């Protein structure tokens, strides 16, 4: 089992679990991610992705990558799974300890929220191995840290530590390793306290290309304005305010 799954009513925790390979992402991991996405697409819940053994994922499995062909590249094996993770209806939180390199970094980039420990080392060293970062880094990373910084990272293969990743907004918070999962669950708790449909619509708006704004907000908000949950929550708010 390369991906350990812990299910809760309002969230799922998925732990990359190949400690002997520093959680390198192999075909079995990709297959498990697809199965997990299928479950979360039909039963939306917040997803927390993390790694075991003080490592998030030290990259894709090099032994498998070495034998992949041009046909494999065109199939987008890792990229397709990471796109599916990114497009899940509810938020995805990456809780990152230690190395998140290559495919591991690209899985983290696919998350909506990234938090880390001081041991974080994140980046894309693919060009040093004769390939490129083709699992989403070339377009996701510029959106996260800006085009100039993404170009520098991808063209040099330089890793960022936790302090620089925080400064650049690649991660939103840094926590001691013993507190990392508690912090991830605290974020999931805040998400769970909100209306699931409003959360899903907000994520959809955030993931929609600029050219489709503001029309997308108008349509999504129109649906929410007719929702019973909007009326219930706003009525409860007004009643609390009146009773203060």
Q: Is 159 left (phi over 0), alpha (psi -120 to 50) or beta?
A: beta
pLDDT recorded at residue 1: 85
Whether residue 231 sits in one domain with residue 127: no
Which tens digit of pLDDT belongs to each residue from 216-225?
Answer: 999 999 999 9
Q: Tell me the per-residue pLDDT of 81-90, one tens digit each, with 9 for 90 and over.
A: 999 999 999 9
**Residues 25-52 pLDDT 10s:** 999 999 999 999 999 999 999 999 999 9
User: 232 and 212, same structural domain?
Assistant: yes
Q: Active-site residue among 6, 41, 71, 126?
A: 126
The overall average pLDDT reported for the chain is: 97
Our answer to whether residue 143 is catalytic in this structure is: no
pLDDT band (50, 70, 90) for residue 138: very high
Q: Residues 161, 207: one domain?
A: no
Mean pLDDT of 207-233: 97
Q: Cα separation of 205 and 196, whole Å? A: 14
Over residues 156-176, the mean pLDDT reads: 98
- Residues 100 and 39 both lie in one domain: yes
Same domain, 186 and 223: no
**181/229 same-domain check:** no
| Ordered DSSP codes for the chain | --EEEEE-SSEEEEEE--GGGTT-B-HHHHHHHHHHHHHHHHS--EEEEEESTT-SB--B-HHHHHT--HHHHHHTHHHHHHHHHHT-SS-EEEEE-SEEETHHHHHHHTSSEEEE-TT-EEE--GGGGT---TTTHHHHHHHHH-HHHHHHHHHH-PPEEHHHHHHHTSSSEE--GGGHHHHHHHHHHHHHTS-HHHHHHHHHHHTS-GGGTTHHHHHHHHHHHT-HHHHHHHHHHHHHHHT-
* CA dist list (Å): 14 to 157, 205, 206, 226: 27, 25, 23, 35
Specify whether 159 is located in the same domain as 238: no
Given 20, 106, 163, 164, which residue is catalytic? Answer: 106
Task: Write out the two tokens for 151.
Answer: 């170009």
Look at the chain and count its residues: 244
Over residues 220-243, mean pLDDT = 96
Same structural domain for residues 131 and 200?
no
Domain boundary among 192, 209, 226: 192
Name the residue range of residue 219's domain: 196-242
Q: Are residues 117 and 221 in the same domain?
A: no
Question: pLDDT at position 206, please?
Answer: 97
Domains: count for the chain: 2
Active site residue 87: no
Phi, psi of 122 (to 5 degrees): -130, 140
- Distance (Å) of CA 229 to CA 91, 233, 236, 243: 20, 6, 10, 21
CB-based burial of residue 102 (10 Å sphere; 0-12 exposed, 13-18 middle, 19+ buried)?
buried
Q: 174, 189, 109, 175: which is closest to 144 by C-alpha?
A: 109
Q: Which CATH number belongs to the domain containing residue 9 in this structure?
A: 3.90.226.10
Looking at the structure, tell me whether residues 81 and 124 fall in a common domain.
yes
The pLDDT of residue 90: 98
Whole-model pTM: value is 0.96
In this structure, the answer to whether residues 68 and 163 fall within a common structural domain is yes
* 208 and 140 in a common domain: no
> Cα-Cα-Cα-Cα dihedral of 97, 16, 90, 87, to 10°?
100
């Amino acid at each position: 089992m390369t991906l350990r799954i812990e299910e809760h009513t309002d969230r799922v925790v998925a732990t990359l679990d190949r400690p002997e390979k520093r959680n390198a992402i192999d075909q079995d991991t990709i297959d498990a991610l697809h199965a997990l996405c299928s479950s979360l697409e039909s039963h939306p819940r917040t997803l927390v992705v993390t790694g075991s053994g003080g490592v998030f994922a030290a990259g894709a499995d090099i032994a498998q990558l070495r034998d992949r062909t041009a046909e494999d590249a065109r199939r987008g094996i890792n990229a397709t799974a990471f796109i599916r993770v990114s497009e899940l209806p509810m938020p995805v939180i990456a809780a990152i300890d230690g190395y998140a390199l290559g495919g591991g970094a690209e899985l983290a980039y696919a998350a909506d929220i990234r938090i880390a420990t001081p041991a974080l080392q994140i980046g894309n060293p693919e060009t040093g191995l004769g390939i490129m970062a083709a699992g989403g880094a070339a377009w996701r990373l510029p959106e996260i840290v800006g085009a100039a910084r993404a170009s520098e990272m991808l063209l040099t293969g330089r890793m960022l530590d936790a302090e620089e990743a925080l400064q650049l907004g690649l991660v939103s918070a840094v926590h001691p390793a013993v507190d990392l999962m508690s912090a991830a669950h605290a974020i999931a708790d805040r998400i769970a306290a909100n209306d699931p449909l409003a959360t899903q619509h907000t994520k959809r708006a955030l993931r929609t290309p600029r050219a489709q704004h503001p029309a997308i907000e108008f349509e999504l908000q129109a649906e929410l304005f007719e929702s019973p949950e909007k009326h219930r929550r706003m009525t409860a708010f007004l009643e609390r305010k009146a009773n203060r």
